[in-house]
Amino acid sequence: MCGIVAYIGKRQASPILLDGLRRLEYRGYDSAGIALWTDGGIDVYRKAGRIENLRKAVSEANPPGDLGISHTRWATHGAPTDENAHPHKDQSGNLALVHNGVIENYISIKDQLLAEGHTFQSETDTEVLAHLVGKCYDEGEETEPQAKLVAAVQAALPRVKGTFGIAVIHSDAPGVIVGSRLGSPLVVGLGKDEHFLASDVGAIVAHTRDVIYLNDYDLVTITRHGYDVSSLDTNRTASVKVSRVDFTEDDAEKGKFEHYMLKEIYEQPQSIRNALRGRLSRDEATAVLGGLNMSPMELRQIDRIIFSGCGTAYHAAMVGEYLMESLARIPTEIEFASEFRYRNVPTTKSTLQFVVSQSGETIDTLAALREAKRKGLRCLGIVNNVASTIARESDGGVYIHAGPEIGVAATKTFTSQVTIMTLLSLLFGRIHHLSSTDGLEMIDELEAIPEKIESILKQAPRIKEIAQKYANAEGMLFMGRQLNYPVAMEGALKMKEISYIYASGHPSAELKHGIIALVKPDLPSVFIAPDDAVFDKNVSNIEEVKARKGPVIAVTTEGCTDLERIADDVLYVPPCKSILSPLLTVVPLQLLSYYVALARGCDVDKPRNLAKSVTVE
């Protein structure tokens, strides 16, 4: 959610920090700030609103300095104001700190500090943390400023409850940045005579592709010429691994597209090819997924599967449930990751849990992973970020290889996640009862999906026309059956995320059980109704809506013209095996939501109140 960028080196820090913050805009934020070490102390600039407001303030001052920390804030404690923006200083004014996460016991710490004479300028938990670290610094026994700052962070952080990713600088220590994390990602970027610290590698990939992904309880000390990573709870040197970022600066840019979301919708044919590459065996008529770290015998012993995710990942998991039970006939459940650790979900010794997250840093999904491991379950990840916390803490898993997804509204990662779940279901199916003939048919159908999506994308002008027609609707209903019920949920989520139209997804058959009360002439319904086994049932539901003068947008299969006489507008997807239809039917819904948001003048890539990666509970 919030973003951190820090720099120490030989160049002027402010342009690097501001560019890094710009690259983190997609994560969601409502204010931004920067702190720079100068000969006169630490200069802080903070502005509510867009980064451009901060850029103007900094450019007017044109501050020197080759060391600094910066932050984009997504408000939790306190309104989005200049005063509540990060960085925050301590009581002395000599220390500055930026923070991602939530300090749960900040009130009790603040009360203690108030009693000691501290005064606060903001409503945030972060300023309390800055004061606590500053207090530990002022009371420290070390004499050398760098060692004293490290000791202060080590003394303060064990006293807080909650999550944090922090970067700290002090006016007495001009050559060092100290960082630490617990539940909030941090990555160290390595350069020549310069180093970086960021919450997301995308912020620094323009400057370096050699990075170290920190683990929980790591404490890092960064200077111009080196770094040291130790363990916060033991004070011992921590083992580190230098990784190479697998995408470039250009991969994270919009290119010829107006918005990241549109670019990523159009990238889906390639992202699905990437998800399939090297993972299909025609000789064995199955999927090859070595990253599961399980033998065929171990896989065969699995008698229950749980998928956990949030938001779009949860909807992909819903499709996964249908796929796994249809192809492999293994009882499968889906759980909101945000609820899993608070429930007492019955499991067996042969239960396998998958956690699904684009970023691999979603705090609720990470908590579900840790809860599953506490219960002794084997837990595998389905993630996009190869070096993420979930990827590191899982027993194995499958990377979706979708490339960087910058748009807040997930698109290509949904179809890539569904592709991976299809591969998993094929693998389990072949281990159990699925014939080689059926397996080869699935492989043929899967390999044809990217080209079919390309044909859907060519309908964008028609979808744009339909979107403009309904752009002023006060709400929308999305309905589908079987595997396309999750697609209805995902379509509704996309619509409300970026257009701010209230939208809800439902199984079509539930229409008569209450939802039909909402139907009226100015409330359009979107039906996902491909030519499958329940097509006639969907037609009946559409007739019920039309009988009550409700407008209908239908998504159906090419060559099936039955809906043209009933629905107001019809969009078509190519024919495919019905079990794979979600990979196609979701694409026109993504474009529909995009063009509706565009017609309403919404900021598609930066929807209000939303963040790309939810790293606080």
What residues are labeled active site? 2, 612
Q: Are 57 and 38 in contact (CB under 8 A)?
A: no
Helix (H) / strand (E) containing 308: strand 304-309
d(CA 105, CA 102): 9
Q: Show the tokens assigned to 401.
A: 């290889």
Q: Is 169 left (phi over 0), alpha (psi -120 to 50) or beta?
A: beta
In DSSP notation, 33-62 reads EEEEEETTEEEEEEEES-HHHHHHHHHHH-
Strand partners, 569: 553
Strand partners, 479: 506, 527
Which residue type occupies 38? T
Q: Show the tokens assigned to 470.
A: 């309904």
d(CA 570, CA 604): 24
Q: Is the dihedral of CA 379, 384, 387, 389 positive or negative?
A: negative
DSSP 565: G
CA-closest candidate to residue 423, choices 272, 307, 569: 272
Q: Are 51 and 25 in contact (CB under 8 A)?
A: yes
Q: Show the tokens assigned to 609.
A: 């109140």
Q: For the beta carbon of residue 561, count every other beta carbon within 10 angstroms.
A: 10
C-alpha dihedral (134, 136, 137, 139), degrees to nearest 10: 120
d(CA 420, CA 399): 8
Q: What distance lies between CA 460 and its chain's CA centroid?
A: 26
Q: What distance lies between CA 477 and its chain's CA centroid?
A: 25
d(CA 279, CA 274): 10
- Give the CA diameter of the chain: 83
